[in-house]
């Protein structure tokens, strides 16, 4: 929030009271100009307000089957150590401090309001290089205001990708978009059943059991849901984790292995993370990748069997798994 106490979001009427193995995004989201020099601290992250040139970005690469990505923020307070989005930042300090900064696109609402071309039927992926439910979103409601505008004006086909339970708050708007003739699917990223692993690889993310509870309630509200295990980090108990995933009521599941060789790690976190992974897998550090892949395949088999038993589609993988659902 600015020093004046007003949230500096342009185009919002009336002003709001204080109350994110991904994928194919251009760097344009990071080309922005500071509009408010004040920085506030939310949790461990510094939050700044910036002006962006565009809100809806034409897709490329992994998400090319979508029409646009929509990122209300840049940077991400969740600070996953392996986050690919960190490496889109041109600023080395920002890459090293990933998880400790968030930029709010202060003119996002204004940009969407000014849009003249219809978004009816357009496939929008929100978000590809940040999580649209940052902790600051709870008070700022920027994502919520953007959803309201989408619901008022168009019939978009929207995939919302998050790992925050805050997504539950906006079920009324997802419902409204659907009732108006648009489509919505909420994707929840769930990566492990092991909280030690979660805390090491995703230090500031909500616990996985909270994410599962949230997706259960979104599904119960009549919104299509998908659980994205992207990446799947480690599973301690294949049967129980598979049952927990299916027990949410989600209709779709996508998984992706962790890419140890290609994976980038922010701020010297690689060694600590890999040591813990090897320890959990019960093997030496020099052969833990092979052990991980074996365990991933075992879990894949267990989950696919349970999916079949429940008349659900098989687990999707990689780019095909992320194909638009409608
Ligand atoms: S939630 Fe994690 S993976 Fe997603 S953008 Fe944020 S830091 Fe990256």
**Which residue is closest in CA terms to ligand 1's atom 3?**
83
Q: Provide DSSP, 4-58.
A: TSS---TT-SSPPPP--------GGGG-EEEEEEEEEEETTEEEEEEEES-SEEE
Q: Which atom of ligand 1 is nearest to the CA of 130?
A: 5
Cα(7)–Cα(42) distance, rounded to whole angstroms?
14
Cα(161)–Cα(86) distance, rounded to whole angstroms?
17
- From 72, 81, 83, mutation site for ligand 1 pocket: most ligand atoms within 8 A of C-beta: 83
The per-residue pLDDT of the chain, averaged, comes to 88
Cα(227)–Cα(255) distance, rounded to whole angstroms?
8
What pLDDT score does 269 carry?
78
Q: Which atom of ligand 1 is nearest to the CA of 86?
A: 8
Closest CA to 258 of 61, 82, 98: 82
What pLDDT score does 84 carry?
86
Is the predicted pLDDT of residue 267 greater than 80, yes or no?
no
Residue-range domains of the chain with CATH: 27-317 (3.20.20)
What pLDDT score does 320 carry?
87
Residue 178 alpha carbon to ligand 1 centre in Å: 27
Tokens of 123: 């496939």
- CA 175 from chain centre, in angstroms, equals 20
Cα(236)–Cα(238) distance, rounded to whole angstroms?
6
What pLDDT score does 53 carry?
93
Is the predicted pLDDT of residue 191 greater than 50, yes or no?
yes
- CA 315 from chain centre, in angstroms, equals 19
- CA 204 from chain centre, in angstroms, equals 13
Residue 60 near residue 26, CB atoms below 8 Å: yes
Tokens of 185: 């699917």
What pLDDT score does 2 carry?
36
Residue 78 alpha carbon to ligand 1 centre in Å: 6
**Helices (H) then strands (E): counts for the chain:** 11, 12
Average pLDDT over residues 240-252: 98
pLDDT tens, 218-231? 999 999 999 999 99
What pLDDT score does 167 carry?
98
Cα(21)–Cα(258) distance, rounded to whole angstroms?
8
Q: Provide DSSP, 75-115.
A: E-TT--TT-GGGGG-S-HHHHHTTTSEEEEETTHHHHHHH-
The interaxial angle of helices 208-220 and 238-247, nearest 10 deg, is: 30
pTM of the complete model = 0.90
Q: Give the largest Cα separation in the chain, rounded.
A: 59
What pLDDT score does 16 carry?
30
Is the predicted pLDDT of residue 177 greater than 80, yes or no?
yes
Is the predicted pLDDT of residue 324 greater than 90, yes or no?
yes
What pLDDT score does 37 carry?
54
Higher per-residue pLDDT: 30 or 164: 164
Residues with C-beta less than 6 Å from any ligand 1 atom: 20, 76, 78-80, 83, 85, 130-131, 163
The interaxial angle of helices 171-179 and 208-220, nearest 10 deg, is: 40
Percent of the chain with pLDDT over 70: 87
Closest CA to 81 of 277, 287, 298, 297: 277
Place of tokens 């992250």: 45
What pLDDT score does 35 carry?
52
Q: Which atom of ligand 1 is nearest to the CA of 22?
A: 3
What pLDDT score does 11 carry?
58
Do strands 68-70 and 123-126 pair parallel, antiparallel, or not at all (unpaired)? parallel
Residue 79 alpha carbon to ligand 1 centre in Å: 6
Q: Which atom of ligand 1 is nearest to the CA of 127?
A: 5
Cα(127)–Cα(116) distance, rounded to whole angstroms?
22
pLDDT tens, 79-99? 998 898 888 888 888 888 999
pLDDT tens, 12-44? 543 232 223 333 333 334 334 445 557 789 889
pLDDT band for 293, please (50, 70, 90 cuts): very high
């Amino acid at each position: 929030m600015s020093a004046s106490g007003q949230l500096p979001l342009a185009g919002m009427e009336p002003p709001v009271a204080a109350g994110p193995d991904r994928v194919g995004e251009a760097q344009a989201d990071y080309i922005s100009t500071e509009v408010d020099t004040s920085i506030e601290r939310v949790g461990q992250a510094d939050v700044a307000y910036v002006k962006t040139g565009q809100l809806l970005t034409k897709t490329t690469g992994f998400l090319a089957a979508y029409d646009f990505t929509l990122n209300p923020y840049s940077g991400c307070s969740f600070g996953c150590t392996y986050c690919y989005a960190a490496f889109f930042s041109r600023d080395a300090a920002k890459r090293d401090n990933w998880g400790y900064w968030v930029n709010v696109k202060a003119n996002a609402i204004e940009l969407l309001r000014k849009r003249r071309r219809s978004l009816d039927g357009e496939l929008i992926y929100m978000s590809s290089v940040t999580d649209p439910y940052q902790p600051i979103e709870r008070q700022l409601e920027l994502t919520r205001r953007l959803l309201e505008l989408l619901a008022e004006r168009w019939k978009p086909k929207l995939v919302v990708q998050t790992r925050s339970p805050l997504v539950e708050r906006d079920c009324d708007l997802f419902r409204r978009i659907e009732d108006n003739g648009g489509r919505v699917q909420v994707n929840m990223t769930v990566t492990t059943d092991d909280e030690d692993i979660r805390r090491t690889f995703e230090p500031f993310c909500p616990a996985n059991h909270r994410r599962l509870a949230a997706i259960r309630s979104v599904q119960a509200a009549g919104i299509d849901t998908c659980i994205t295990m992207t990446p799947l980090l480690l599973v301690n108990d294949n049967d129980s984790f598979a049952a927990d995933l299916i027990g949410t009521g989600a209709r779709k599941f996508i998984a992706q292995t962790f890419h140890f060789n290609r994976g980038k790690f922010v701020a010297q976190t690689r060694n600590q993370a890999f040591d813990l992974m090897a320890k959990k897998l019960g093997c030496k550090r020099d052969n833990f990748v092979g052990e991980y892949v074996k365990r991933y395949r075992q879990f894949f088999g267990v989950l696919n069997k349970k999916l079949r038993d429940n008349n659900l589609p098989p687990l999707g993988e990689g780019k095909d798994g992320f194909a638009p659902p409608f």
